[in-house]
Amino acid sequence: MQLNLKFLAILLLATSTFCAQEVISPKFGKGILNLTGKDSTWTMKMGLRFQTLGIGVWEDGASPETNFLIRRSRLKLDGWILSPKLKYKFELGLANRDIAGGSEYTRNTSRHIMDAVLKWNFYENFVLWVGQTKLPGNRERVISSADLQMVDRSILNSEFNIDRDIGIQLRHTTKLYKNFIMNEIFSLSQGEGRNVTSGNLGGFQYTGRVELLPFGKFNGKGDYKGAGLTREKKPKLSVAASYDFNNNAVRTRSNLGNYMKIDDGAGLFETNITTIFADAMFKYKGYSLMAEYAKRDSDNPIALNSDGTPTGDVVNVGSAYNIMTGYLFPSNWELTGRYTNSELNINITGKNPKKQYSLGLSKYIVGHKLKVQTDISYLDIQEKNNQLMYRLQVDVHF
């Protein structure tokens, strides 16, 4: 009920401004409405999207399982204030999966806020981001869930990504030679993930990323969108690497996962966690290829109580790689294949290595704004029961 009231309040606030604003009716996929301040000192675009997902899972020796859910539902506001050099983005999660994960560190409340960030282009090619948003980690995670090439991200992402946090990011673009572009990003964040309200529980999290685009920019920011919808007339390539250091981290997956609580009530176990990523995106005439590598390590991956006994929590240390390729036919049907290999350190995590093979089929009706996607995946877990999964999803983005 509280969520519905918040959502209603936002809509009422927007509609109450109609008489004082210049309202532009956008076409489908360009937002529910676009607002411009009467004195032209601000703009706002309101967008809404949701994904309806059906899943069937068959595991060796077990009965089939099915599930139908609203996988994601988001309300997004973005625009600029005073000048196009000062932009903002605000995004709310409305589905149960979006707001799950509340704990004592988020005041035991639902985590509605996904993004709340200001972006200030304060000098030439320098842009300062302030607020809560995605960290510059692996490419697959930074790509919006609205722009994915398959139904959902890979198991590499679910086990190694560093997701969202609150802090600052400094971004810069350098033109090295003709069309050769380099993007540099540095981030300083709190290190405990999104919507934490109890203060800085450990140390800070430091993230750096460098991207090289030797053939120039992708059309329509295609280096951070799945599928070859822009049908690049010339080959486009982006190669990147990220380094993340979470000082005195208190969660099992850097700024995600379980909080490593000490049993005797002495607080949280702290350890330094390092995560590195390398990735690439290539597109040409409807063909696309994305590859990623991730590796995580920790100074003390086994959480200990004050007396030296294990708490039961361990850091997800290990490595994984992922490769995905697809071709978009002239009819806007796309066939996609993906292979992922994930090897968490079994001696520490107790989790066996696994491989996943996926085949996907997508129909882009209005690009990523209206699409139907389906895929089938075979999960091979070493010395464990294997799993077959089928998914069908409809994505609508106003």
- Could you read off the pLDDT of 84-102 as tens digits, one per residue? 999 999 999 999 999 999 8
**Rounded-to-integer distance, Cα 87 and Cα 241, Å:** 26
User: At a CB cut-off of 8 Å and minimum separation 6, what does 67 contact?
Assistant: 54, 55, 57
Q: Is the pTM of this model over 0.85?
A: yes
* C-alpha triplet 346, 350, 351: angle, nearest 5°: 75
Q: Is the pLDDT of residue 19 over 70?
A: no
Provide CB contacts within 8 A for 39, sequence distance 6+: none
What are phi and psi for residue 272, nearest 5 degrees? -75, 135
Q: What is the mean pLDDT of the segment spanning 350-373?
A: 97
- Identify the pLDDT of residue 10: 55
Residue written as token pair 């107790």: 350
The one-letter amino acid code at 158 reads: S
- Contacts of residue 366, Cβ cutoff 8 Å, sequence gap at least 6: 28, 29
Whichever domain contains 48, its CATH number is: 2.40.160.10
Distance CA 377, CA 354 (A): 13
Q: Is the pLDDT of residue 8 over 90?
A: no
Question: Which secondary-structure segment (H or E) carries 347?
Answer: helix 346-349
DSSP tag of 158? H
pLDDT tens by residue, 29-78: 999 989 999 999 999 999 999 999 999 999 987 889 999 999 999 999 99
The CA radius of gyration of the chain, in Å to the nearest whole number, is 22
pLDDT given at position 363:
98
Q: Is 346:312 a contact under the CB 8 Å cutoff?
A: no
Overall average pLDDT of the 278-289 stretch: 98
**What is the enclosing helix (H) or strand (E) of 78?**
strand 65-81
Query: Higher model confidence: residue 3 or residue 40?
Result: 40
Over residues 328-341, the pLDDT tens digits come to 999 999 999 999 99
Share of the chain above pLDDT 70, in %: 94
Number of helical H runs and strand E runs in the chain: 5, 22
Q: SS3 of 19, please? A: helix
pLDDT digits (tens, 9 = 90+) for 215-263: 999 999 999 999 999 999 999 999 999 999 999 999 999 999 999 999 8
- Name the residue range of residue 190's domain: 2-397
Q: CA geometry: angle at 358 spanning 357 and 361, to 5°?
A: 160
3-state secondary structure of 180: strand
Q: How confident is the model at residue 18 (pLDDT cuts 50, 70, 90)?
A: very low
**Tokens matching residue 27:** 């076409």
Helix H or strand E segment including 349: helix 346-349
Query: What domain count does the chain have?
Result: 1
